[in-house]
Amino acid sequence: MQTLVIYYSRNGFTEKALSILADFLKDPTDTIHIKDMNNEVDLNKYDRIIIGSPVYNNRVNSKILGFCKKNMEILSEKKLGFFVTSLSDIETAKDYLFQSFPKSLLRSTRCKSFFGGEISWASLSPVERLTLQMTKGITTDVSNIDLNEIEKFAACLRKQCR
């Protein structure tokens, strides 16, 4: 099973969550940040594509959504997995995922997940700090990584291979 992971990460948490997922999955995967995605990446050679993004200002990354829309046809032929990272509770995280990704692709897979999120206050830009303070009242480090969800996502992906 050839697996490709396409993701966005601005502050590093999504990358960290993906390395935990890779430990649970144990399958070799090619992992590409959406900013490094180009025409040389041949989607045809993958059996499974996992797509994920953090939520910033109530939105999933627009390049990730653009990738999904541009490649709808080929993605609909693959085994798929979707996830978001965010600081919200799981119900809100579900809304982010279900309202953002194309519904026809979401319907084609059971593997959808919500990994939690993390803020390292020191690494944020002044604008990000101000945004978080104003919109969420956050002024410090926060970590709510959901290892259980990541493990369940890996189990769901493994089942796709049987």
Ligand X SMILES: Cc1cc2nc3c(=O)[nH]c(=O)nc-3n(C[C@H](O)[C@H](O)[C@H](O)COP(=O)(O)O)c2cc1C
User: Where does residue 53 rank: exposed (0-12), middle (13-18), buried (19+ CB within 10 A)?
Assistant: buried
Give strand pairing partners of 60.
55
**1 vs 142 by CB, closer to ligand X:** 142
- Going by their DSSP bridges, the two strands 118-119 and 142-143 should be labelled as antiparallel
Beta bridge partners of 142: 119
Q: Which is nearer to ligand X, 3 or 14 (CB)?
A: 14
* Residues of the shown chain interacting with ligand X in the complex, contacts defined by CB under 6 A: 9-14, 54-58, 85-88, 117-119, 124, 128, 131-132
Q: Kindly state the smallest distance separating residue 160's Cβ from ligand X, in Å.
A: 24
**Smallest separation, CB 161 to ligand X (Å):** 27
Name the residue nearer to ligand X (CB basis): 25 or 84: 84
Sign of dihedral through CA atoms 86, 160, 152, 41? Answer: negative
Rounded least distance, CB 123 to ligand X, Å: 9
CA 42 to chain centre: 20
Q: List alpha helices for 1-146, DSSP H.
A: 13-25, 62-70, 72-75, 90-100, 103-107, 126-136
Nearer to ligand X, 38 or 57 (CB): 57
Q: Considering the complex, what minimum distance in angstroms separates the CB of residue 44 from ligand X?
A: 28
